[in-house]
A and B are shown apart, each in its own frame.
Chain A
Amino acid sequence: MGALAAALLLCALASLGRVCGAAWPTHTACRSGDLEMRYQSCDPLQDFGFSIDQCSRQLKSNLNIRFGIILREDIRELFLELGLLSKGESIMHISYPICEEDLPKFSFCGRKKGEQIYFSGPVNNPSFEIPKGEYQVLLQLRNQAWALVACANATVVGL
């Protein structure tokens, strides 16, 4: 009887979680022989889709990515905030402008709240090698008013 009650409670909590917005599922952005990238949306309002076309520890320059999201904010200006952690310790933090008033780098710059974006194309990154190990990456996209556009907790595993 106790087991039944516990099961019911668990079930109730689980459905509560679903109804009232729990964590989004963890997705795999890429997986290959020596590299794996997983991510989870940390925006309480929504999930988003992301993938990388090639996946190896020796990352090539100008990677092609695919990205799909619904905008909940205008992106006249858009900034990427990227924090890299290893074993809980911060290794580096990068802030990178994606859309600026005087330099909209990508064709989606300037889109409005409510628009659905699907981006498939190069991201103009330098090539670099990912050392073996596990890394946590915190990604945030923020707009001109510093409102959150997208948020991801990612794990990169170099095998």
Chain B
Amino acid sequence: MASHVSCFLLALLFFASCSIITSLNQMCTEKEANMTYNCENLGLREIPDNLPNTTEFLEFGFNFLPTIQNATFIRLIDLVFLDLTRCQINWIHEDTFQRHHQLNTLVLTGNPLIFMAETSLNGPMSLKHLFLTQTGITNLEFIPVHNLENLESLHLGGNHLSSIKFPENFPTQNLKVLDFQNNAIHYISSEDMGPLKQATNLSLNFNGNDIKGIEPGAFHSKNFQSLKFGGSLNLSVILTGLQNSTAQSLWLGTFEDIINEDITSAMFEGLCDMSVESINLQKHHFSDFSPATFRCFNRLQELDLTQTHLKKLPSGIKGMNSLKKLVLNVNDFDELCQISAASFPSLTDLYIKGNSKKLDLGVSCLEKLEDLQKLDLSHSNIEASDCCHLQLKNLLHLQYLNLSYNEPVGLQSKAFKECPRLEVLDLAFTHLHVNAPQSPFQNLDHLHVLNLSHCLLDTSNQHLLAGLRDLRHLNFQGNRFPDGSIPNTNLLQTVGTLEILILSFCDLLSIDQQAFQSLQKISHLDLSHNSLTGMSIEALSPLKGIYLNLGANSLSIVPSHLLHILSQQTTINLSHNPLDCTCLNIHFITWYKENLQKLEGSEETVCANPPSLRGTKLSDVELSCAITPTGIFFLVMFLFLFIFLLTCSIKILLRKRYHHI
């Protein structure tokens, strides 16, 4: 009998715990009240009742809806975005979205669709985006054509399509994006392209289809925003097939997991007969790289040769006067001069990021690039003992320079005098050698943004930042100050124009009172991840109305006479500090609660002391430090008692003394 009882109890326990878990599971996450909800991964079989009727954006992926029909979403008639990714949908019956006039985006990715009814997509006034990726479609006739007149993007990747031929009545006039990635399309005929005639500025994606043939003239006099043939094995087939077409961008790159034959110059012949502005050839091997390779590139504006195993570009390339942007990332150059920059005189953007070898900047290798505005040389193992006036000679129009993540670089005074128009300079994580009292950034009158984070700078050099007349954003993260203190006279005094200053991870213990006196324009100050205490707040008194981050410091007690300095700021972050929640800090705690609207990260702003309150959010702390009426009563009683006892003992003492008289 007892065993039965215990079994019953156990069973009850089991069901109880499971029902708790399922009821927890029912909870969708509210991202925006009454509007946006996420119900993913909950194993739901229907729309939960607690979802409001006003829901507009619903992420419902990874649930279980084998059949969807008229009744399924009937309550949520305001839906604009509906994501039904991997809900094991087999059937989409008639009039499923009949009442959803606002529906704009429908995501059906990864559902094993068996059939979509003729009127299954009827209802929405303007259905713009339809995702049918990996839904097992073998034929484009599968998609019900009614009500697709407004379609702007159609995603058909990962299906079993062998032809891109849409039915004649398929509306394509508004299509802007058509994605055929990873299908089995091997041939594109003129007839296939026929239905796409009405579409203008279309982006077509054929990545991951091994195109073996294109009928001549299939793309004749057509205009494309972008064409992607990534991972295609035969480039000449594609370029020949694109005859007489126009495309803004053409993506012909390949991938690590695809084995291509080497590219020969002859493969690019077809480019002469089409008009392209931008080409990407990432990860290809060139077998005979010569000036002739570029014969048909003469109208090109952007060329991306990322990771194409280049050791040098041939000199004497003719006719590439229109090239504006050249990407040579992740190649194998030894010296910057090997890119033969003189061949590209109109270049405005040059990227040589992530060079696999140690890149020697050489002397004047880019001097012919008079129009260059943007230069990225980050992550390229650059080492230079005296940078950069010889290396960057004649780059008079350079506005953006990225030298971050390189080997140690030495800078002298006026190191960037050859690029006087620099606006953004990024040197993050490049160890900089600057001898005091040199001012490497002198004469950079237009520099707005300077990233010197983790440059291991000598911060005692008062002149380090001299000459930066218009600097607004300085990232100084991870540089150390002598003795962990910013003294009253410091290198920030020369940059009074600063609006954003980042001094996080600088191992700061204190800031002297007058240290920020000259920073009158600051609107954002990040002092997080240091070891500052309450006393350093005094240095912030000249700052008003700013965003102030004091997170992850050593603030424990904040003296009450400094609270007005915090009050005068707009937003403050005090999270991850060992804050004191005893009566010693009562003024600060009261202030904190009164200024909650100003405080950021209040979930992580918790007490460290006393142990009983450790981990409690500061906003939840209730302290009573003032004396209560009962307290006063007892205190008065105690005093009376004390006086009474005192008089008594004095009396006894006097009586004893004078008794014998």
Report whether A112 and B109 are in contact in the complex, using a CB–CB cutoff of 8 Å. yes
- Whether A72 is near chain B, meaning CB under 8 Å from some CB there, is yes
- Whether A53 is near chain B, meaning CB under 8 Å from some CB there, is no
Query: In chain B between 413 and 434, which residues have their CB closer than 8 angstroms to a CB of chain A?
Result: none
- Whether B584 is near chain A, meaning CB under 8 Å from some CB there, is no
- Which residues from B are CB-within-8-Å of A9? 10
- Which residues from B are CB-within-8-Å of A34? none
Partner of B62, one of A19, A20, A72, A112: A72
Binary contact readout A121-137 vs B (1 if CB under 8 angstroms, 0 otherwise): 11110000000000000
Partner of B330, one of A45, A72, A103, A104: A103
A137 to B208 Cα, complex, angstroms: 32
- Which residues from B are CB-within-8-Å of A102? 304, 306, 327, 329
Partner of A107, one of B2, B21, B133, B258: B258
Report whether A103 and B18 are in contact in the complex, using a CB–CB cutoff of 8 Å. no
Report whether B256 and A114 are in contact in the complex, using a CB–CB cutoff of 8 Å. no
**Would you give the shortest CB distance from A106 to chain B, in whole angstroms?**
5
- Whether B224 is near chain A, meaning CB under 8 Å from some CB there, is no
- Which residues from B are CB-within-8-Å of A45? 41, 62
A9 to B11 Cα, complex, angstroms: 9
Partner of A103, one of B110, B181, B307: B307
- Which residues from B are CB-within-8-Å of A105? 255-256, 283
- Which residues from B are CB-within-8-Å of A12? 10-11, 13-14
A120 to B256 Cα, complex, angstroms: 11
**Would you give the shortest CB distance from A65 to chain B, in whole angstroms?**
10
Give the number of chain B interface residues (Cβ < 8 Å).
44
A20 to B3 Cα, complex, angstroms: 26
Give the number of chain A interface residues (Cβ < 8 Å).
33
Report whether A122 and B18 are in contact in the complex, using a CB–CB cutoff of 8 Å. no
Report whether A115 and B158 are in contact in the complex, using a CB–CB cutoff of 8 Å. yes
Report whether A5 and B10 are in contact in the complex, using a CB–CB cutoff of 8 Å. yes
A117 to B308 Cα, complex, angstroms: 26
- Which residues from B are CB-within-8-Å of A20? 18, 21
Report whether B110 and A104 are in contact in the complex, using a CB–CB cutoff of 8 Å. no
- Whether A113 is near chain B, meaning CB under 8 Å from some CB there, is yes
Q: A5-B3, A114-B109 are in contact. Are A107 and B231 (CB under 8 A)?
A: yes
- Whether A119 is near chain B, meaning CB under 8 Å from some CB there, is yes
Report whether B10 and A8 are in contact in the complex, using a CB–CB cutoff of 8 Å. yes
Binary contact readout A27-52 vs B (1 if CB under 8 angstroms, 0 otherwise): 00000000000000000010000000
Report whether A114 and B86 are in contact in the complex, using a CB–CB cutoff of 8 Å. yes
Binary contact readout B279-317 vs A (1 if CB under 8 angstroms, 0 otherwise): 000110000000000000000000010110000000000
- Whether A58 is near chain B, meaning CB under 8 Å from some CB there, is no
Report whether A107 and B134 are in contact in the complex, using a CB–CB cutoff of 8 Å. no
**Would you give the shortest CB distance from A36 to chain B, in whole angstroms?**
26
Partner of A113, one of B85, B158, B307, B329: B85
A111 to B205 Cα, complex, angstroms: 13
A159 to B251 Cα, complex, angstroms: 47
Query: In chain B between 1 and 54, which residues have their CB closer than 8 angstroms to a CB of chain A?
Result: 2-3, 6-7, 10-11, 13-14, 17-18, 21, 40-41
- Which residues from A are CB-within-8-Å of B62? 45, 72, 114
A27 to B7 Cα, complex, angstroms: 35
Question: What is the chain B residue whose CB lies nearest that of A13?
Answer: B14
- Whether A94 is near chain B, meaning CB under 8 Å from some CB there, is no
Report whether A16 and B256 are in contact in the complex, using a CB–CB cutoff of 8 Å. no
Question: What is the chain A residue whose CB lies nearest that of B86?
Answer: A114
Question: What is the chain A residue whose CB lies nearest that of B131?
Answer: A112
- Which residues from A are CB-within-8-Å of B255? 104-107, 109
Report whether A115 and B282 are in contact in the complex, using a CB–CB cutoff of 8 Å. no
A111 to B17 Cα, complex, angstroms: 38
Report whether B110 and A114 are in contact in the complex, using a CB–CB cutoff of 8 Å. yes
- Which residues from A are CB-within-8-Å of B594? none
- Whether A92 is near chain B, meaning CB under 8 Å from some CB there, is no
A37 to B238 Cα, complex, angstroms: 43
Report whether A115 and B110 are in contact in the complex, using a CB–CB cutoff of 8 Å. yes
**Would you give the shortest CB distance from A2 to chain B, in whole angstroms?**
9
- Whether B61 is near chain A, meaning CB under 8 Å from some CB there, is yes
- Which residues from B are CB-within-8-Å of A121? 256-257
- Which residues from B are CB-within-8-Å of A4? 3, 7
A104 to B256 Cα, complex, angstroms: 9
Query: In chain B between 319 and 348, which residues have their CB closer than 8 angstroms to a CB of chain A?
Result: 327, 329-330
**Would you give the shortest CB distance from A37 to chain B, in whole angstroms?**
21
- Which residues from B are CB-within-8-Å of A113? 61, 85, 109
- Whether B230 is near chain A, meaning CB under 8 Å from some CB there, is yes
- Which residues from A are CB-within-8-Å of B306? 102-103
A111 to B2 Cα, complex, angstroms: 58
Report whether A16 and B61 are in contact in the complex, using a CB–CB cutoff of 8 Å. no
- Which residues from A are CB-within-8-Å of B253? 104
A20 to B23 Cα, complex, angstroms: 12
Q: A19-B18, A112-B131 are in contact. Are A1 and B3 (CB under 8 A)?
A: yes
- Among B86, B207, B327, which residue has the most Cβ atoms of chain A within 10 A? B86
- Whether A61 is near chain B, meaning CB under 8 Å from some CB there, is no
Q: A103-B306, A114-B61 are in contact. List 13 more A-B contacts (CB 8 A).
A: A4-B7, A8-B10, A9-B10, A12-B10, A16-B14, A19-B21, A20-B18, A104-B230, A105-B256, A107-B258, A114-B85, A114-B110, A115-B133
Sampled A-B contacts (10; CB under 8 Å): A5-B3, A8-B10, A15-B14, A72-B41, A103-B307, A104-B255, A105-B283, A107-B207, A115-B109, A115-B134
Which residue numbers of A lie inside 8 Å of B, CB to CB? Answer: 1, 4-5, 8-9, 12, 15-16, 19-20, 45, 70, 72, 102-107, 109-116, 119-124
